[in-house]
Amino acid sequence: MSEAIAMSFEPKIIAYVCNWCTYLGADLAGTNRLEYPPNVRILRLPCTGRIDFNLIVKAFEMGADAVLVSGCHPGDCHYTAGNYHARRRWMLFRSLLETLGIETERVHFTWISAAEGKKFQQVIGELTEKTRAMGPYAAYQEMCVGQASACPEAAK
């Protein structure tokens, strides 16, 4: 990727965060006036256990270049075990993404607590730079605009 494109490309990052930890961590970053790149769109959900894998797929369909999923540290879940359930799911979901050849380096998981405003700032900063270096997720976006293939019989 040429430097000129790299400079003009602004990555779109979707962050699915849990209501109780990471969202409050983001809030803390805000109240502490910690600056982080505006490339991230934050979506708040009740719990990481609620974050359906379809939401990750949907984000890519809608043009995201990277997705972040973040919630409470293990042991801190507001609902006791939502994040433990989520962790298991992501483990297997990553293996499915790998099998399909989807770029797993664009799907990030992290734990950020309500007290970690600083960590939120760092994660978003690093993620934005990493995604900027990787460039847009062209493979998925090009696939999404593809038309249904014509019936081979009809094409004859």
| 31 vs 99, beta carbon nearer another protein | 99
| 78 vs 85, beta carbon nearer another protein | 85
Q: Give least dist CB 109 to another protein, A.
A: 5
Backbone angles phi, psi at 7, to 5 degrees: -70, -40
Distance CA 152, CA 156 (A): 7
Among 66, 108, 132, 136, binds another protein (CB under 8 A): 108
Q: Is 123 a binder of another protein (CB under 8 A)?
A: yes
| 56: CB partners within 8 A, 6+ apart | 16, 67, 69, 93, 107
- Residues in the interface with another protein (CB under 8 A) total 40
Binding site for another protein (CB under 8 A): 53-54, 57-58, 61, 74-75, 81, 84-85, 87-96, 98-104, 108-111, 123, 139, 143-149
